[in-house]
Amino acid sequence: MFSKISRYRKLPNVVTVDAQGRRLESKSLRLLPEVTGIFLHTVESGDRLDHLAYKYYKQPRKWWRICDANPAFPSPQALLGKEPIVTTSFPLTFAGGSQPPWAELLKQLERKLGVEGVKVVDEIRLVAQEQTIGGQTIKVNVERHDLAVTVTYNRMNISISDLADVMAAVGFGVTQPENIGRVGKKIIIPPDVIG
């Protein structure tokens, strides 16, 4: 039933009895092995686990070794940032003279099918600017608000442009959205050991 290189082949069989008295045989639960590795791979947009396994092990079916070494990611798709649930940061501008309508923005975004979470980011940072006072140019630190909304959503239900349209309808300007994902981040490539 399992190939020679299957990680499930050596697991013991477990027999259970269901409510009708039938004996059902299956494999025992496979616990994640202790896997370490010092080599890191930087995820690129076109990466596939079978291609990475071939690149590092010369065996595409050993993709699961890479998954075992990166248990923080619940699925192989998540490991490479290709799962349907994504998080995007939308830098915003607000030209209105009063306080930005955050409550209305949150309400409108959360009503959209596929939106799973919304977080407002209002970072205050000091920016050095040159100002001329009394004929002298001096540098002063000025508070700058960096406005952004981080949205976690299912891209099968809603798109980045749909979300940007909601933000624009509430009165915000949207600059270049940025996906917060795995591309550019590092994953562990463990050594190829038998087992």
pLDDT digits (tens, 9 = 90+) for 138-192: 887 766 667 889 999 998 999 999 999 999 999 999 988 988 777 788 888 998 8
Out of 1-15, 85-99, 106-120, which region has the weakest mean confidence (pLDDT)? 1-15
Per-residue b or e along 39-51, where b marks 16 or more CB atoms closer than 10 Å to that residue's CB: eebebeeebebee
Q: Whose CA is closest to 105, among 157, 174, 155?
A: 174
Average pLDDT over residues 46-50: 88
pLDDT in tens, 128-145: 778 787 788 888 776 666
Structure pTM? Answer: 0.55
CATH code at 85-180: 3.30.70.1340
What are the residue ranges of CATH 3.30.70.1340 in the chain?
85-180
Cα 33 from Cα 138, distance rounded (Å): 61
pLDDT at 106 (0 to 100): 94
Q: Is residue 99 exposed (0-12), middle (13-18) or buried (19+ Cβ within 10 Å)? A: exposed
Given a contact cutoff of 8 angstroms between Cβ atoms, the answer to whether 43 and 183 are in contact is yes
